[in-house]
Amino acid sequence: MSNSRIKIKPVDISEYLDSEEMIEEYLKQAIEEGDPILLAHALADVAKARGMSEVAKKSGLSREGLYKALSGDTKPRYETLQKVLGALGFGLSIKPLQKIENYHQI
């Protein structure tokens, strides 16, 4: 029996974020999960796909500050999320979780 090991290379999601539609859907899914750490990781992936230096410049954050804010080590501040989303050309919006007619049944 051979002693060969399978080598697994980590997947770099940013390599697959190659269209605006893909990026938009990726961020929507991350937001819908409701986990700010997951959203920070998703934003980091998109920023990497778009170029961290460019996103940092557009957001008004330093490159180091952007990496730190999106590292997932801590929950990112709302203000930071807004800056990064804006730099990426996105914003947050509100939508009802259920139909209006069902609202009165609660």
What would the pLDDT profile of 29-83 be if each residue is shown by its tens digit? Answer: 999 898 989 999 999 999 999 999 999 999 999 999 999 999 988 888 999 999 9
pLDDT at 4: 79
92 found inside a domain: no
Its pTM stands at 0.80
65 found inside a domain: yes
57 found inside a domain: yes
25 found inside a domain: no
pLDDT at 55: 97
Q: Which ranges of 60-95 does DSSP label H, i.e. alpha helix?
A: 63-69, 78-87
51 found inside a domain: yes
67 found inside a domain: yes
Flag whether pLDDT at 95 surpasses 90.
no
Flag whether pLDDT at 98 surpasses 90.
no
7 found inside a domain: no
The domain tally of the chain equals 1
Closest CA to 29 of 11, 10, 18, 45: 45
Domain span at residue 73 reads: 31-87
68 found inside a domain: yes
